[in-house]
Amino acid sequence: MSAPAAGPPTATAPPPLPEGTLRVTPLGGLGAIGRNMTVFEYGGRLLVVDVGVLFPEADQPGVDLILPDFSSIADRLDDIEAVVLTHGHEDHIGGIPYLLRLKPDIPLVGSRFTLALVEAKLREHRIDPYTLTVAEGVTEQLGPFSTEFLAVNHSIPDALAVAIRTPAGLVVHTGDFKMDQLPLDGRLTDLGGFARLGREGVDLLLSDSTNAEVPGFVTPERNIGPVHDEVFRTATRRVIVACFASHVHRVQQAIDAAEKYGRSVAFVGRSMVRNMGVARDLGLLRVPPGLIVDAREIDQLPDQHVCMISTGSQGEPLSALSRMANRDHPVRIQEADTVILASSLVPGNENAVYGVINGLTRWGARVVHKGIRNVHVSGHSPAGELLYVLNAVQPRNFLPVHGEWRHLRAHAALAELTGIPSDRILVVDDGTVVDLVDGRASVVGQVPCGFVFVDGLAVGDVGEASLKDRRILGEEGFITVTVVVDSASGKVVAGPEIYARGFSDVDERALDDVRPLVQSVLDQAMQEGISDPQALRRAMRRTVGRWVSDTYRRRPMLVPVVVEV
């Protein structure tokens, strides 16, 4: 089997957009699970599909969120016709507030539930958006882009795929999807609609790659109902169900089981309370009267009559479940409590999730997770279903999206099996510019597309250099060396004083031996007439760094300070 076209692209800037060409630029979602954003350009106008966030990993300390890089379109915000949102997961809508800070009146287009979640989020940012509600079967003309929406089944209600028509051709973006044949809400993925578009002639397909390495077909959601039922039936004390705050179907299953076994339900976690309130208001969550209680009231109920539905299934440090595991939450885990982790492991979160499982188990909880019981099914199509879509659509060109590199490559291999020529399969990186003209898609360049870190209220102020410093501080500690220099004579009048943090808790005199070495190098500098503070700082850093490396095999952050008086 030959290799798919392209690969990591060259850094060449793209040429001006030729007339009659559709330009496609993914700004996130390729090479990682999250930060999904794709920009389509035709006739000088832009259409954006999704603006999501990526959650930080352990080697990005202090970072709250990671945004797509808007720099390539920052001076063209007036050219954006609309932002089309495929569904309401954070990796697809979480970046909306940060884009609308730049231009609050960009129209948002999406399904009823998706827009309700976005509007609730934007109220917290004090942004009143302009929105257009669409549904499956609807076609909207957004500038030069004719957009048709198709129903897809996913782990959140009201998910949509979008077909984009321009004079340059027809593009289909699946969004996130699976093909559950027995969905809890009865809403099937519109495979017939995909086939109809295929007969019309799809020039480019962008398709969800998350489970491209997984063989077969997805397990129906309703198959896990009996497992939840059995867990609730055998639980002797409180039951805590942890899942994504947007997974209405999973919450509905927990509510149904709680009602059956006489348990009151409390939502725990701000996003869970907010999202389930939205779902309930829209009629997407069916709650029997009197079943829901305030989380502050659960201590007044017998343990065997309590069910809590919580955030934190991915081990997020500040989530309700993580705080419970660390005994840093009003809900105190007790012996014989039952915790159900009703989610799949997002790549990169494994250590955090297992840490929460161990923490909960330490306090005596019985933890039921996907590794031991069938308490969750994925929201993404495995290989068998991806092949169905590829065969139904029969695209002339294929661009796998939404996945790490291994997922994109696996999806590309599936596409080639269905007969798509390898030179029409584009496995590319974020920022790659793809032009579609005369039925042919090809890479024409690259735009800047780095990570934009959100740290508290600061957006983009933290970069890789700061993160490197934070990692060094976290792993090796730091040492400061301070001397006072007479600015007139150039002589050292005080110091060196050496101070360390995170270096040694045992030996308070661990750095005493380096002090005479620093004093010696300063004396030599004075003899040679060197009094420039920058030169003295370099000499101190070099001396201390070499001694620490030779003595301890460590590389702490070194902060030499020269005070002139």
What's 414-451 look like in SS3? HHHHCCCCHHHEEECCCCEEEEEECCEEEEEEECCCCC
φ, ψ for residue 479, nearest 5 deg:
-130, 130
Alpha-helical segments (H) within 372-404: 383-393
Question: Do residues 12 and 447 lie in contact, with contact meaning Cβ atoms separated by under 8 Å?
Answer: no
pLDDT of residue 481: 78
pLDDT tens-digit profile of 473-502?
555 667 787 877 766 665 666 767 777 766
CATH, domain 221-369, list 3.20.20.140, 3.40.50.10710, 3.40.50.2300, 3.40.50.300: 3.40.50.10710
What does the alpha-carbon distance between residue 312 and residue 141 come to, in Å, rounded to a whole number? 40
Contacts of 256 (CB under 8 A, 6+ apart): 225
pLDDT of residue 58: 58
From the list 171, 114, 173, 141, the residue with the least C-alpha distance to 45 is 141
**CATH numeric code, 20-216+379-459:** 3.60.15.10
CATH, domain 477-564, list 3.40.50.10420, 3.30.460.80, 3.10.20.580, 3.40.50.720: 3.10.20.580
Residue type, 279: A
From the list 155, 357, 340, the residue with the least C-alpha distance to 233 is 340
Asked if the domains at 20-216+379-459 and 477-564 fall in one CATH topology, the answer is: no
What does the alpha-carbon distance between residue 119 and residue 384 come to, in Å, rounded to a whole number? 36
Give the Å distances, CA to CA, from 237 to 151, 288, 339, 536: 40, 22, 10, 66
What does the alpha-carbon distance between residue 172 and residue 206 come to, in Å, rounded to a whole number? 6
Q: How much is the pTM?
A: 0.81
Block mean pLDDT (10 aa), the chain, length 565 = 50 88 95 92 96 70 72 94 96 92 95 95 90 96 97 95 97 96 91 96 97 93 88 93 89 94 92 92 92 88 92 74 85 90 70 83 88 84 96 97 95 97 95 95 91 61 55 63 70 72 58 75 72 76 78 74 73
SS in 3 state form for 203-245? CEEEEECCECCCCCCCCCHHHHHHHHHHHHHHCCCCEEEECCC
pLDDT of residue 149: 98
CA-CA-CA-CA torsion sign (247, 249, 255, 261):
negative
What does the alpha-carbon distance between residue 65 and residue 53 come to, in Å, rounded to a whole number? 6
From the list 82, 32, 27, 30, the residue with the least C-alpha distance to 56 is 32
Domain boundaries, the chain: 20-216+379-459, 221-369, 477-564
pLDDT of residue 12: 86
Tokens 């991915």 appear where? 314
What does the alpha-carbon distance between residue 420 and residue 542 come to, in Å, rounded to a whole number? 58
pLDDT of residue 506: 44
Q: Strand 80-84 vs strand 65-67: parallel, antiparallel, or unpaired?
A: unpaired
pLDDT of residue 194: 97
What does the alpha-carbon distance between residue 502 and residue 120 come to, in Å, rounded to a whole number? 42
Rg (CA), the chain: 28
